[in-house]
Structure 1
Amino acid sequence: MKCAIYTRVSTDKEEQKSSLTNQRELFINYIQERNWELYDFYVDVESGTTSNRENLNRLIADMEQKKFDIILAKELSRLARNGELSYRIKNLAENNKIDIVTLDNAINTLEGNRSMFGLYAWLYEQESQRISERVKHSLTNKIRRGEFKGSIPPYGYIVVDGQLQVRDDFCRNIVVRIFKDYLSGKGQTRIANELTNEGVPTPAQVAGKANASTVWHDSTIKLILHNHHYLGHLVQGRETTVSVTSKARLRIAPENYVIIENTHEAIIDEDLFSGVQERLKKRIKRAPGPNPHLFSGLLVCADCGKGFHYRANSKGYVCGAYDRRGNIACSSHLVREQALTEFVLNDINRFIKQGSNPNQLQHAEDTLLTSAKRLNNQIESCHAEIEKLNEQKNKALSHLINDVITKEEYQSFTQGISSQIQSLKEQLFEYEKSLAGLSKDNYLKEIKKISSFGTITELTPEILQQFVNEIVIDKDGKATIHYRFTIPSFTN
């Protein structure tokens, strides 16, 4: 019988690595005594309360394909400390006629010992829940003692022995500057742009994060302006996990935050902080109403992919990234509304005229037949190649079972083949999808729909909605229209 061995430890500490080695030896001895065949080892360094474990997922996928007969684990808690996950594994094993054996003899479905499965699953989850509650209780006590328990301290502070201390560098002055600039009337975007243009290190850079951005964002300025830590008070306990078996975060109501006053040196005084909070409240944006600009939501920058903003002083649209952060982000890609309106109106009428041309149908039929023949040939080729690769994979598995090749050689060989098969299946899906879309009837409906419009004399939002998917603007302000229909797009 083929045996899959699953081992898990919670951390990658040296003592737990030794535990993995010891478990491996136990399992090898166990299967040698019974003359079982080893299929594979599945090893995770992860908490047992989560189902998102790389090798557990691989084990489950192999169960679904019935690649082995037995799962061997030290105890049920190695597989799962989550009742829901435990039963998922149990049901999947039963449906695929796979047995589960644990070395502590609690579970052994080979001998019909499955009646205690539910009890052990419940006990392990309750044990994990109790551990989680103790950790939360300990964390709350530390918070109430005024210890900072966040992963990264606020910009301008460092953590020393659990306490926030003001950094001895430029960051303190930057925080004060941000508050004063905002109170003086500057917006969050303008403040962020000025800091970026001056090369001031961002919070991510100061924290030493990998691949930290050098660009300040208005969202970063907003977080700083709202942060009560700058008053010298700790405000923590804003969210918690729903349960030990769920990674979902539960927001705590503000009245239940843990607030400890005067725990560290303040950077911002009460008057400045209060003034900023009042201005923030006054500048809360109203819900947006109908957009009055004709092309809003349709224009896309060819270089950065951002949308466009209308600018009345230019009587046109500019790249949104440029509008927010200037030349550091992109160039303006300015396009005048009047010129764009004339171009789009003329192009839509050309589009309608092309769709109304009697020769268009014959051309469409010829194109469809040619495309369908090409796609069918590609589909047949993919099927043949996949079948050939599967035969090679099965032959390699036979060599593994007969000790012609090692497990490492088998895994190296099949990994490459599996990647090729997956790539071919993705191609096959795209080919079949394209073939399904090559419908003469659908094309005729589109031609008829286009023809029914006649000549359009005025460009309206409704017309744009009917015809246009998006309009891409290049650096010179030239537009490329992507229509909602299948006839190719045109460029001005």
Structure 2
Amino acid sequence: MKAAIYCRLSEEDRNKQFETDDSNSIQNQKAMLLQYAMEQRWEVYNLYSDDDYAGSDRRRPEFNRLLEDAKAHRFDIVLCKTQSRFTRELELVEKYIHGLFPIWGIRFVSIVDNADTANKGNKKSRQINGLVNEWYLEDMSENIRSVLTNRRQNGFHIGAFALYGYKKDPDQKGHLIIDEEAAAVVREVFTLFSQGYGKTAIARMLNDRGIPNPTEYKRLHGLRYQQPKRKNSTLWKYFAISDMLTNEIYIGNMVQGKYGSVSYKTKQNKPRPQSEWYRVERTHEAIIDRPLWNRVQSMIAERAKPFDCGTVGLFARKAICANCGYTMRSSKNRGRHYLQCSNRHVAKDACIGSFISVEKLERMVIDELNRLAAAYLDKDELERSIEFCENLQGQKRQLLETLSAYEKKIAEYTKGLRDLYMDKVKGLLNDSDFSALSKEFSSEKSRLERVLLDGQRQLAELEDRIAVGDNRKALAERYVNLEHLTREIVEILIDHITVGKRIPGTRDVPIEIHWNF
């Protein structure tokens, strides 16, 4: 019998309080498992070891190599110290230990918690172990989230790396100090913009002088910052300049929480609304003074164009240059909208420059979508399967619950204002405290009233749609018989599109659509 030994050490295992807790080290795991395999007279096929990986991380390199070898049946047994060393997720316990391993003819054994798939009687205990490990992950995630939220609310920097222009204070955890070398570039960017230079022009000037962009700067200074695996990743781009010019950290305010994790089970993050950001003023020394900052923000507001919900924003952040991997930017010429590589103008020979009209790209996407629909979708079955009205009723119930919560909050603030006034009359509050508190209460109450009004409008629209009746057929046709795309459809159906350079001698532009399905 051939056995594959799997060991895992996570960061949590490194922070043990007692020497006796060292049993989770990689060396001790290996020794224990090799001894057990020898006692059982199993031949050790290979030893797979992931160092510094959590039990919920599905991207563990050795873990995935183990699964590939198991699928190829290169061994007969997977041997671990405990089931949680293999995975802490109940979903993966069911998928592999109870699902695919038996199909592949692989036996799973963990020696401390006595899990053994050859023993049919302990399946329930393995499932209970999986459930306990799942609860552990969830509790640990909530505890970490609570600690990080508290630190953000108190203005401590919690990121792995400081923002370009700053570095972590070695004497005070969570505090930023100015990195003068990078800060000089930040000041120059703000100054150039205030003098009328555009963001692309500023990026080109920095690239021409060979100044490394923030990512490359971190790498050159020995920080373990993951470099994007794409061409020209060391160049300054339009978006880097744009983000820098609006980041309040440069005026001494700590702004965090712009992105939040989808779930503790995945590394994926999604943008959070600005109302949920954590913003604390005057937490560190400013690089940009207030007059320059205010002048730049005013110029940005003057240059801002209203968002066009038509063809201009149709493929925003979805079209990517096939040559260099960067997001394509929109432009307009003689009333027509185009997408071009954002690298075309930032440096000499940065990219060959992908280019396509929005109209042409829309037609190519529609043609491919209709081809897929004709080939794979049963239209009648699709109409029957869409429970349109039931879905709308569910949306209505959820919206009503949300509106009810807003109404309760508004009532609380109304009562709070009344109580504040009574405290002032009784002499419990002085005028300045009353003014500050009532202003804060009134501001939040007004905000909630605006949100409530907007929600009531949404509810009215929803009720109108429900009143129209079951339009499942129209909904199905919306996706299988398209003539034009909308931004909503693009968001739902398309992850991204790579666009190549026009084929010489033709009008054909190669594209590759990466769907969300």
Query: TM-score, normalization: structure 2?
Result: 0.55
Task: Report SS of the residue matched to 2:105.
Answer: coil
Please identify, of 47-56 and 104-113, the stretch whose mean Cα deviation from structure 2 is larger. 104-113
1:380 is matched with none
Counterpart-to-counterpart distance in 1, 2:254 and 2:93: 40
Counterpart-to-counterpart distance in 2, 1:104 and 1:303: 50
Aligned with residue 59 of structure 1, among 61, 66, 81: 66
2:318 is matched with none
How many aligned positions are there?
A: 331
Q: Greater Rg, structure 1 or structure 2?
A: 1
Work out whether 1:167 is the aligned partner of 2:167: no
Deviation, structure 1 residue 283: 3.1
Work out whether 1:40 is the aligned partner of 2:51: no
Work out whether 1:249 is the aligned partner of 2:249: no
Deviation, structure 1 residue 228: 0.6
| Alignment map for 1:382-393 (pairs within 5 Å) | none
Work out whether 1:324 is the aligned partner of 2:333: no
| Alignment map for 1:339-418 (pairs within 5 Å) | none
Letter in 2 for 1:68: F
1:5 is matched with 5
Work out whether 1:195 is the aligned partner of 2:197: no
Task: Report SS of the residue matched to 1:196.
Answer: helix
Task: Report SS of the residue matched to 2:48.
Answer: strand
Q: Do the aligned partners of 1:199 and 1:214 also contact (CA within 8 Å) in 2?
A: no
Q: Do the aligned partners of 2:237 and 2:342 also contact (CA within 8 Å) in 1?
A: no
Work out whether 1:152 is the aligned partner of 2:161: yes
Deviation, structure 1 residue 237: 1.9
Counterpart-to-counterpart distance in 1, 2:277 and 2:328: 39
2:132 is matched with 123
Q: Do the aligned partners of 1:301 and 1:308 also contact (CA within 8 Å) in 2?
A: no
User: Can you give the 5+ residue segments of structure 1 that lack an aligned partner in the other structure?
Assistant: 292-299, 333-468, 473-478, 485-492
Letter in 1 for 2:9: V
Letter in 1 for 2:277: Y
1:207 is matched with 218
Deviation, structure 1 residue 226: 1.3
Counterpart-to-counterpart distance in 2, 1:85 and 1:282: 53
Work out whether 1:178 is the aligned partner of 2:189: yes
1:361 is matched with none
| Alignment map for 1:276-355 (pairs within 5 Å) | 276-285=296-305, 286-287=307-308, 324-325=345-346, 327=348, 329=350
Counterpart-to-counterpart distance in 1, 2:326 and 2:243: 26
Deviation, structure 1 residue 187: 1.1
Deviation, structure 1 residue 236: 0.9
Letter in 2 for 1:324: H
Task: Report SS of the residue matched to 2:190.
Answer: helix
Counterpart-to-counterpart distance in 1, 2:324 and 2:100: 49
Q: Do the aligned partners of 2:88 and 2:134 also contact (CA within 8 Å) in 1?
A: yes
Alpha-carbon displacement from aligned partner over 1:197-250 (angstroms, at most 9, x marks no partner):
234443334434478965322111111101011121100122232232211113
Work out whether 1:23 is the aligned partner of 2:29: yes
Q: Do the aligned partners of 1:8 and 1:20 also contact (CA within 8 Å) in 2?
A: yes
| Alignment map for 1:434-453 (pairs within 5 Å) | none
1:490 is matched with none
Query: In the superposition, relative to structure 1, how do residues 326 and 205 fare at CA in structure 2: closer, same or farther (>3 Å)?
Result: closer
Deviation, structure 1 residue 14: 11
Counterpart-to-counterpart distance in 1, 2:303 and 2:110: 62
Deviation, structure 1 residue 124: 0.8
Aligned with residue 104 of structure 2, among 96, 102, 118: 96
Taking only the aligned residue pairs, the percentage that are identical comes to: 29
User: Can you give the 5+ residue segments of structure 2 that lack an aligned partner in the other structure?
Assistant: 17-21, 313-320, 354-499, 510-517
Counterpart-to-counterpart distance in 2, 1:281 and 1:30: 69
1:69 is matched with 76
1:84 is matched with 91
Alpha-carbon displacement from aligned partner over 1:11-34 (angstroms, at most 9, x marks no partner):
596997982222222222222322
